[in-house]
Amino acid sequence: MTLSTEDVNPFSKDIGEWDIETISSFIHLSDIAAYEAVGKAMSKISEACKMIVESLEKGGRVIYLGAGTSGRVAAQDVVELLPTYDLGTEFFDFILAGGPGSLVKSVEGAEDEENGSVEELKKRNINSKDIIVGITASGSTPFVLGGMIYGRTLGCKTIGITNNHAKRIEQYSDLFIELITGPEVIQGSTRMKAGTAQKMALNIISTTVAVKLGRTYKNTMSHMGSWYNEKLKKRSVNILMAQFSMKEEEAMKLLAENNYNINRCIEILKKVDK
């Protein structure tokens, strides 16, 4: 089957002859396809959120598998969850083809190593409570499929995310999410629309899960690591002032007394309000 992300885009075949403004504008407009692809998959994305919440509430984990752009998108999602929602690798983790070093330097051949992800999953002692999320633009990356197949032998639920009508990954997925973004502006460059759609989908999934796990207070980051830097300390002050009608001095004093643990401060103030 022809992979749509590998097809030649007939609308950009003369891109080398365009001026800079035309090129950049065309790329921008092409990204609309990513937004539309995610919109069409929202029922499946919502189902993924429900599966993950249920798993985490029972002590399971979510482990993303990916190579290249897909793996880096997954890594970005994971590393930001700890400072934002206090969700560490006991909740969300990632396995990237080529190892952590491929975050900063591409290791192209690693995606063909089907057993590479299996060995990493074994190191993490995965079990039937865990969910494996395989992310691959083509839908056929051996590194991703190998891990999904192995996980299923242990009773893990699997979610497949791809940018093509890919039957291989579908057969190994308990839940299959297609983000059909079509041919890239530059043929096969899935770091563009395909990667953007993947990032959008993971943003929706992890944020929804964090909310349902009680990691927010209303629409604020009640579990963020507000002691990390001055920007986050200021945000914590603003949250307490806005949500509990506190004066700045009062908010700063309460936070300082609690080592800038904003969740602890919120719980204290909620009891006072009662």
Q: Any idea which residues carry the catalytic annotation?
A: 80, 111
CA distance 208 to 146: 28
What the block records as the tokens of 114 is 């089907």
- Type and span of the H or E element at 52: helix 42-57
DSSP class of 124? T
CA distance 158 to 174: 5
C-alpha radius of gyration, the chain, whole number: 21
Q: To 10 degrees, the CA torsion angle through 12, 102, 62, 166?
A: 40
CA distance 12 to 185: 6
Residues 6+ apart with CB under 8 A from 153: none
